[in-house]
Amino acid sequence: MALVPMRVLLDEAAKGGYGVGAFNVNNMEQIQAIMMAAQKTQSPVIVQASRGARKYSNDAYLRHLMLAAVELNPDIPIVMHLDHGNSVETCRSAIEQGFTSVMMDGSLLEDGKTPSDLEYNVKVTSEVVKMAHDRGVTVEGELGCLGGIEDGHGANLDPRAHLTNPDQAVEFVERTGVDALAVAIGTSHGAYKFTRKPDAEILAMDIIQEIHRRLPKCHLVMHGSSSVPKELIDKINQYGGDIKPTFGVPIEEIQLGIKNGVRKINVDTDNRLAITGAIRQVFVETPAEFDLRKYLDPARSAMAEVVAARMTAFGQAGHAKDVPMVSLDEMAERYRSGSV
Ligand SMILES: [Zn+2]
């Protein structure tokens, strides 16, 4: 099986009423961890790389690692997605490198930190949609700004200050033709999302419900949706770490989102925490150890465990075989003919 366009996977998820986790990667072990979890749960997969990850690992390494994942897992549909593209050029280069889905985040200017206006966002996103759909590649847009910074991308604003406006969401989706829309509902990137368990006052799930009511066919995306479980933080701190008390997005809120049109859920922090805790444990318990496999292997397993738990909670487990094989060329034809 080859890499598949994300649209196919999200359409199938909408039919089945489930969500699909999108997990960030920077290296081989993270890709392997996701594929271990996908095999275990028989899940379709979205692997995503940010600009920071592409710079860290180099597109050529990433591409070949993804092709290895495809070769070794012929029964699992896999999407390779660009997370937070900051310009048309960044999206173009990702498509040329074999990504089957791109995010154009025009909610911020090209510097990746200054909030833009609707006209700018519509203009750059439409340009990416045209270029990507010509090649069968899926496009995710973003409206409203999340809090926090992810790999240098983000306004680091009060996450309540730029929530997605449902009226604008309708206009944005109609004018751009995006396949999926990332919404700002009060979450932030990174580990420090909330200082208490989020309730309706700080996590605006009602915005998702309203947008889904107005745009029932648009696939919604929740960013910054790690749950930041206390046990992962405790483990890091138990082995000499220093992570302050913090709260993420509870799984039950994500499940409520999935009932209301959320089809893609971005998770990165939880995996970083799991990996860090596992490595710290080896360093503290066996300080003489210097064979990197002795700590990267448990790190990989710890991430696989988190990913498998999310795949099960989001409902994608068991659905690997439902996703039809659609090539980028076939998808491009569907966009041309207007059948999607
Ligand atoms: Zn994000």
pLDDT 10s digits, 331-340: 999 999 999 9
* Ligand 1 centroid – CA 294 distance (Å): 32
Cβ-defined contacts of 227-234 (< 8 Å, 24+): 227/251, 227/254, 227/270, 228/191, 228/193, 228/269, 228/270, 228/273, 229/270, 232/270, 232/273, 232/274, 232/277, 232/306, 233/191, 233/273
Phi-psi map region of 186: left, alpha, beta (phi>0 left; psi -120 to 50 alpha): left
For the stretch 278-315, pLDDT in tens is 999 999 999 999 999 999 999 999 999 999 999 999 99
83 part of the active site: yes
- Report the mean per-residue pLDDT for the chain: 95
Element (H, E) at 54: helix 51-57
Q: Tell whether the model's pLDDT for residue 151 goes beyond 80.
A: no
145: which 2 tokens? 């700004």
Q: Give the whole-number percent of the chain exceeding pLDDT 70.
A: 99
For the chain, the C-alpha Rg in angstroms (whole number) is: 19
The amino acid that residue 70 corresponds to is V
The one catalytic residue in 11, 75, 83, 111 is 83
* Ligand 1 centroid – CA 84 distance (Å): 6
* Ligand 1 centroid – CA 233 distance (Å): 21
* Ligand 1 centroid – CA 189 distance (Å): 6
Other Cβ atoms less than 10 A from the Cβ of 35: the count is 21
pLDDT at 75: 95
For the stretch 24-72, pLDDT in tens is 999 999 999 999 999 999 999 999 999 999 999 999 999 999 999 999 9
pLDDT at 321: 96
Structural domains of the chain sorted by starting position, each given as residue range(s) with its CATH number in brackets: 6-334 (3.20.20.70)
* Ligand 1 centroid – CA 23 distance (Å): 11
CB of 71 within 8 A of CB of 35? no
* Ligand 1 centroid – CA 105 distance (Å): 9
For the stretch 82-101, pLDDT in tens is 999 999 999 999 999 999 99
* Helical residues (DSSP H) of 157-260, grouped into ranges: 166-176, 205-214, 230-238, 251-259
Q: Tell whether the model's pLDDT for residue 1 goes beyond 70.
A: no
pLDDT at 159: 74
Q: Tell whether the model's pLDDT for residue 225 goes beyond 70.
A: yes
* Strand ranges in the chain using DSSP code E only, listed in sequence order: 20-24, 45-50, 78-85, 101-104, 138-143, 180-183, 219-222, 262-267
Output the 3-class SS for 234-290: HHHHHCCCCCCCCECCCHHHHHHHHHCCEEEEEECHHHHHHHHHHHHHHHHHCCCCC
Element (H, E) at 304: helix 292-314
Q: Which residues make beta-bridge pairs with 150?
A: 153
* Ligand 1 centroid – CA 224 distance (Å): 6
* Ligand 1 centroid – CA 286 distance (Å): 36
- This prediction's pTM: 0.97
CB of 79 within 8 A of CB of 47? yes
CB of 273 within 8 A of CB of 279? no
Other Cβ atoms less than 10 A from the Cβ of 244: the count is 9
Q: Of 99, 106, 52, which is closest to residue 80 (Cα–Cα)?
A: 99
Residue in the block written with tokens 């999926």: 180
